[in-house]
Structure 1
Amino acid sequence: MNGLENKYIIKNNKRLRYGYTTGSCAAGAASGAVRMLLSGRELSEVTLPTPKGITLTLALHDITRGDNYVSCAVRKDAGDDPDTTNGILVYVKAEKICCRDSETDNCEDIGTGAGRPQIILDGGIGVGRVTKPGLSQKIGEAAINPVPRAMILKEAEEAAQEYDYEGGLKLTVSVPEGEKIAKKTFNPRLGIIGGISILGTSGIVEPMSEKALIESIHVEMKQHFCQGEKYILVTPGNYGADYLREHMTIPFENNIKCSNYVGETIDMAIDMGVKGILFVAHIGKFVKVAAGIMNTHSHCADGRMEVLCASAIRAGGPLECAREILKAGTTDEALEVLNRYGILRETLDIVMEKIQFYLDHRSYEQILLGAVVFSNVYGFLGQTRDAEKLIHKIQSE
């Protein structure tokens, strides 16, 4: 029983369980480690209030004790979210120190009144280190995000006050599997090396959360922007990154992946002050934008063949061509039909015109937007009106 037994959402007619974040794991482990250190007792579990308003009951694992420290772990439960960190152990080692004599500058003075301890919070093995500007932490700091940091410090302070402890404490968060798992996350792209980030704004994992993915796009965009990139290069996924690397002169490692969230990416860029975005995208995703579809996930909308069919008719294609396009299962099949009828170029010109129109419509023309569109079979298919201008601006940054 962890407090989430009756917490779930219904998605695609399935009941999906809530879970809890690595931030909650670290805060729970900190609570247990400090309490066991100061009391001398053994604990099997702790309760943890989360910013979401849900109180968790977290089991403590792998408890070890030394002369001046206690270490324990909480196991991550992501619920039914497909989270790469699910099942890992997040450790916190709590040790007594004389904080004012410490050489580190990570000491957190969490209060000025009597009985308020000073606490050093840092990351150990498997917790990433920040190497680039634009994140919540300074360069060189452990990748422990602001809300988890506040949760950890709050638990440690309350435990110290509970046992009338006024000395210093050092808390070290570690994740033995963190470095391996981090390779599957955004961290290498963000310049966070050596491990995962300790994350969570609510303490709770909502299964299949779009909000979490959009926030990761925002974090990556902010980092590029803070590094001086005013014109941002965006790809929906790996196809776009591969095309950049193999066929374009723009540094492919600068691209941000937006997944299906074209509209949200534009909205965030405007709010941040970005001057322009160049999308490099596969026709299977971006042909939907030509219909004003700004979330390109197939569960939200499709319309790929309908867009190509309408564009083919505008390009002078016959009715039989339109019928064949509508029967096609993939965009590459539809492109083969257009090529066979001799109207591939004319149709794609119309598609590019519509993509430009709807990108500008989403942004109210507040920033410069454009797209380069390709196919894995046919290669380069076309680019919108402002794409060339964006390519030059990105190259000159």
Structure 2
Amino acid sequence: MAEKRLVNQKLLRCGYTTGTCAAAASKAAVAMLFKQESMDSVAITTPNQTDLIIDVLNPQFNDNIASCSIEKDSGDDPDITNGILVSSKVTLLPDSSEIIIEGGKGVGKVTKGGLDQPVGMSAINSVPRKMIKDSLNELAMQYNYKGGFHVLISVPKGEEIAKKTFNPELGIVGGISILGTTGIVEPMSAKALADSIKVEISVIAAESNESILIFLGNFGKKFTEEDLNLSTKPGIMCSNFIDVALDSSVEFGFKNILLVGHIGKFVKLGIGMFNTHSHNGDGRIETLLSCALEAGANIETLKEIQKCVTTNAVLDILYENDLLDKTMDVLNERIQHNIDRRVPDDINVGFICFANTGEYSGVLFESENVDGLKELWKK
């Protein structure tokens, strides 16, 4: 795709996610069914409102069934899925109003709880499913079609590629996951991203700011704005590089620092892991396990936690056993200890950790000084 980002003084090309590929292939297939003509490209808008025109490969259609493929383009920061084909086969269901989305060959199947999709479902995440449905509904309205669709997403090399991902450990078997929250792959190598975070912090410091928000991902920024009702400026997105963001904030003289993040990343701070990329290790379940032990969990509960593959699954168990608050208190203390060891005493650092699913959705824990810090970002 043509869209670029300036990263480390270089223009790097963005890519698009497997979710965008699946939605684009599905839209192209339905367009061929309605038009009864082949297509060599398809236009689609991603969740972050980026308009794309993507080449369509292997188009085939008859009166009721159409299929095609989209080649995954990861841009100038290619990942393991770069260049794979994501295919969609769409069948018209004139006697139904449903849009049924399933995974075929090369798309993983969920076998453990706590993931985006329930056990037994194909690992096609919520945002890609919505993208597919929105695209098909748009065409159905345009062509006055009142029926439903059956969508089968497949990835010919998915099973082979999945062996090199974390899917087997997560309990996703038989293929890759169809993922994406924004629809776009940002072109960021580790060094480039770290450098860009430091530059962004220096720019904020140059504007005479003494306070900075650090978001541990897109969810953190959204939670700050929508749930905490706080301004998100001055603030930066640090992704996995909490170490770079904290150290750079200290280096450039910030006096007040507030971190906001989802438990999935935040939990790693409990073992002092300030770069949370999976390449550096995991430790999420082990951290929560030891915190639960300190909070008084019995051996049966600890064994249940040990089997979990996601933080949400652990939180479910803790909530059901009335251990969530006590365990989060222990984790809170550990994170505070590790941050205090890293950041000088004269800097006011606070944090807010949240979950966005389950009965416990909302703030899980926060530092004692957080109320005063939140005043600095009141709208």
- TM-score, normalised to structure 2's length? 0.55
For the Cα contact (< 8 Å) 1:99–1:118, is it kept in 2?
A: no
Identity %: 40
For the Cα contact (< 8 Å) 1:233–1:277, is it kept in 2?
A: no
Aligned: 1:87 with 2:95:
no
The residue number in structure 1 matching 2:146 is 166
Which amino acid in 2 is paired with 1:72? Answer: C
Q: Deviations over 1:157-176 (max 9, x none)?
A: 22223333222310111111
For the Cα contact (< 8 Å) 2:110–2:120, is it kept in 1?
A: yes
Give the SS at the match of 1:164: coil
The residue number in structure 1 matching 2:249 is none
Which of 32, 45, 49 does residue 49 from structure 1 map onto?
45
The residue number in structure 2 matching 1:291 is 342
Which of 36, 54, 58 does residue 40 from structure 1 map onto?
36
For the Cα contact (< 8 Å) 1:35–1:160, is it kept in 2?
A: no
2: distance between equivalents of 1:10 and 1:42? 37
For the Cα contact (< 8 Å) 1:24–1:200, is it kept in 2?
A: yes
Which amino acid in 2 is paired with 1:60? Answer: V
For the Cα contact (< 8 Å) 1:220–1:256, is it kept in 2?
A: no
Q: 1:136 to 1:64 in 2, by over 3 A?
A: same
Shift in Å, 1:118? 2.2
- TM-score, normalised to structure 1's length? 0.53
Q: State which structure, 1 or 2, has the greater radius of gyration over its C-alpha atoms.
A: 1
Which of 4, 23, 47 does residue 27 from structure 1 map onto?
23
The residue number in structure 1 matching 2:211 is none
Aligned: 1:147 with 2:127:
yes
2: distance between equivalents of 1:255 and 1:361? 30
Shift in Å, 1:288? 10
Which amino acid in 1 is paired with 2:343? Answer: G
Give the SS at the match of 2:144: coil
Shift in Å, 1:275? 4.6
Give the SS at the match of 1:170: strand
The residue number in structure 2 matching 1:326 is none
1: distance between equivalents of 2:144 and 2:95? 17
The residue number in structure 2 matching 1:327 is none
1:355-374 correspondence runs (5 A) = none
For the Cα contact (< 8 Å) 1:29–1:74, is it kept in 2?
A: yes
Give the SS at the match of 1:150: helix
Corresponding residue pairs, total: 256
Q: 1:254 to 1:58 in 2, by over 3 A?
A: same
Shift in Å, 1:238? 6.5
For the Cα contact (< 8 Å) 2:33–2:62, is it kept in 1?
A: no
Q: 1:208 to 1:49 in 2, by over 3 A?
A: same
For the Cα contact (< 8 Å) 1:190–1:220, is it kept in 2?
A: no
The residue number in structure 1 matching 2:64 is 68
The residue number in structure 1 matching 2:167 is 187
Structure 2's unaligned 5+ residue stretches are: 194-216, 219-237, 243-260, 291-301, 312-323, 354-363, 368-379
Q: Deviations over 1:349-373 (max 9, x none)?
A: xxxxxxxx99x9755999799xxxx
For the Cα contact (< 8 Å) 1:129–1:194, is it kept in 2?
A: yes
Q: Deviations over 1:38-60 (max 9, x none)?
A: 32111111111122222100111
For the Cα contact (< 8 Å) 2:94–2:146, is it kept in 1?
A: no
Q: Deviations over 1:326-368 (max 9, x none)?
A: xxxxxxxxxxxxxxxxxxxxxxxxxxxxxxx99x975599979
2: distance between equivalents of 1:29 and 1:367? 42
Which amino acid in 2 is paired with 1:122? Answer: E
1: distance between equivalents of 2:111 and 2:79? 24
Q: 1:220 to 1:149 in 2, by over 3 A?
A: farther
Which of 51, 59, 62 does residue 55 from structure 2 map onto?
59
Which amino acid in 2 is paired with 1:187? Answer: N
Which of 101, 110, 113 does residue 121 from structure 1 map onto?
101
Shift in Å, 1:67? 6.0
Q: 1:254 to 1:135 in 2, by over 3 A?
A: closer
Q: 1:239 to 1:204 in 2, by over 3 A?
A: closer
Which amino acid in 2 is paired with 1:202? Answer: T
Shift in Å, 1:289? 8.1
For the Cα contact (< 8 Å) 1:234–1:277, is it kept in 2?
A: no
